[in-house]
Amino acid sequence: MSTTASPQLAGRREWVGLAVLVLANLLISMDISVLYLAVPFITASLEPSSVQQLWILDIYGFLLAGLLITMGVLGDRFGRRRLLMTGAALFGAASVAAAYAGSAETLIGTRALLGVAGAILAPSTLALIRNMFQDVAQRRTAIAIWTAGFAGGAALGPLVSGVLLDHFWWGSVFLINVPAMVLLLALAPALIPEYRDPRPGGFDLLSAVLSLGAVLPVIYGIKSLAQDGVSALAVAALLAGPLIGAAFVQRQRTVRDPLIDLNLFRVRAFSAPMAVNVVAFFALVGFALFSTQWLQLVRGMGPLEAALWSLPAPVAVAFATTIATGVARTVRPVYIVSTGLLITAVGFLVLTQVGVHSHLAVLVGGVVGVAVGLGVALTLTADMILGAAPPERAGAASALSETANQLGAALGVAILGSIGAAIYRTDVRDTVPSGMPPEALQAARETLGGASEVAQQLPEPARSGLLDGAREAFVHGLNLNAAIAAAVMVAAAVAATLLLRRQAVTPAPGTSAVPGVATDAPLDTSLGARRDTSLDTSLDAPLDKSVPGSAGS
Burial-class residue 438 by CB neighbours within 10 Å (0-12, 13-18, 19+): exposed
- Residue 511, beta-bridge partner list: 3
- pLDDT value at position 152? 67
CB atoms within 10 A of CB 66: 24
Q: Round to whole Å and give the CA distance between 321 and 153.
A: 14
Q: Round to whole Å and give the CA distance between 176 and 41.
A: 17
- pLDDT value at position 540? 32
What does CATH list as the number for 12-203+257-520+530-536? 1.20.1250.20
Closest CA to 263 of 544, 529, 493: 529
- pLDDT value at position 524? 37
- pLDDT value at position 35? 74
Instruction: Answer whether 222's CB lies under 8 Å from 415's CB.
Output: yes
DSSP structure string for 142-182: HHHHHHHHHHHHHHHHHHHHHHHHTTS-TTHHHHTHHHHHH
- pLDDT value at position 266? 78
- pLDDT value at position 487? 92
- pLDDT value at position 435? 65
Closest CA to 480 of 218, 313, 287: 287
- pLDDT value at position 422? 81
Spatial neighbors of 28 by CB under 8 A, at least 6 apart, are 64, 91, 118, 121, 122, 125, 150, 153
Q: Round to whole Å and give the CA distance between 295 and 76.
A: 43
- pLDDT value at position 154? 66
Q: Round to whole Å and give the CA distance between 370 and 488.
A: 13
- pLDDT value at position 434? 67
Global pTM reads 0.71
User: For the chain, which residues make up each domain, given as ranges?
Assistant: 12-203+257-520+530-536, 204-256
- pLDDT value at position 469? 82
Per-residue pLDDT of the chain (553 residues; tens, 9 = 90+): 444 455 678 778 888 888 888 888 787 777 766 776 677 788 888 878 777 777 787 788 778 777 877 887 787 777 888 888 888 899 999 999 998 988 888 898 998 898 888 888 877 777 788 778 877 777 778 877 877 777 667 667 767 777 788 788 888 888 888 888 898 888 888 888 887 766 666 777 888 888 888 877 877 776 666 566 678 888 898 889 889 989 988 888 888 877 777 777 777 778 788 888 888 888 877 777 788 788 888 888 877 777 778 778 777 877 787 787 778 778 887 888 889 999 999 999 999 999 888 888 999 999 999 988 888 888 778 778 777 776 666 667 777 777 777 777 767 877 887 788 888 888 877 777 666 666 676 777 777 777 777 777 777 777 777 788 888 888 888 899 899 999 999 999 998 888 877 655 444 333 333 333 333 333 333 333 333 333 333 323 333 333 333 333 3
